[in-house]
């Protein structure tokens, strides 16, 4: 409990071990704002270059830098990720952090169907993904990999804690 007598999610996790949440909303919001700022700067610089009578190569350099940064962010394929463990099931909600062409998706895994998970680091740690594995009566099913690049170190520890608890049961 904080000094203002307000419970935080970490306090609630300590009170009730059957309820845990991992959410990277703030990091996703920062990334979305960055995308929008880069698009705005790109539009402004391109307009200035096209309509300025004395166009300079320095503007082209800045335009190229913004485009390169934007492409690097896109290659990370960052996702908003919300993982909730309620004791009997794991709920995962996610969508692409890119502000355009977003697809909201979700799935639930019952506690007795959860089998395993796999965390991979791609491109020398530039992109991190997690893949959930479920054991069904028809065999082992693997969900598509989700990007966990935007998870902070504390969120990553909480996620691994949740998944290891599921794996044990």
Residue 1 belongs to some domain of the structure: no
Which of 45, 38, 39, 147 lies closest to 92, judged by CA? Answer: 147
Residue 91 belongs to some domain of the structure: no
What proportion of the chain, given as a percentage, has pLDDT over 90? 12
Looking at the structure, do residues 20 and 39 belong to the same domain, yes or no?
no
Alpha helix positions (H), 52-104: 57-75
Interval 87-124: pLDDT, tens:
888 899 998 887 777 788 999 998 888 899 999 988 77
Residue 94 belongs to some domain of the structure: no
Asked if pLDDT for residue 152 goes beyond 90, the answer is: no
Residue 3 belongs to some domain of the structure: no
Give the number of domains in the chain. Answer: 2
Looking at the structure, do residues 68 and 116 belong to the same domain, yes or no?
no
Residue 65 belongs to some domain of the structure: yes
Residue 105 belongs to some domain of the structure: yes
Q: Which domain holds residue 66?
A: 32-75
Residue 49 belongs to some domain of the structure: yes
């Amino acid at each position: 409990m904080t000094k203002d007598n307000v419970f935080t999610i970490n306090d609630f996790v300590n009170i009730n071990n059957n309820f845990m949440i991992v959410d990277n909303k703030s990091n996703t919001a920062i990334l979305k704002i960055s995308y929008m700022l880069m698009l705005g700067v790109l539009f402004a610089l391109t307009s200035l270059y096209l309509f300025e009578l004395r166009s300079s190569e320095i503007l082209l350099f800045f335009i190229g830098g913004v485009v390169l940064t934007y492409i690097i962010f896109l290659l990370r394929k960052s996702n908003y990720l919300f993982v909730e463990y309620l004791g009997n099931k794991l709920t995962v909600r996610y969508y692409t952090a890119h502000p355009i062409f977003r697809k909201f998706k979700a799935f639930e895994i019952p506690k007795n169907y959860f089998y395993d998970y796999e965390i991979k680091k791609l491109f020398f740690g530039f992109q991190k993904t997690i893949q959930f594995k479920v054991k069904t009566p028809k065999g082992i099913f693997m969900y598509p990999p989700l990007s966990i690049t935007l998870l902070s170190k504390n969120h990553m520890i909480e996620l691994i804690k949740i998944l290891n608890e599921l794996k044990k049961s």
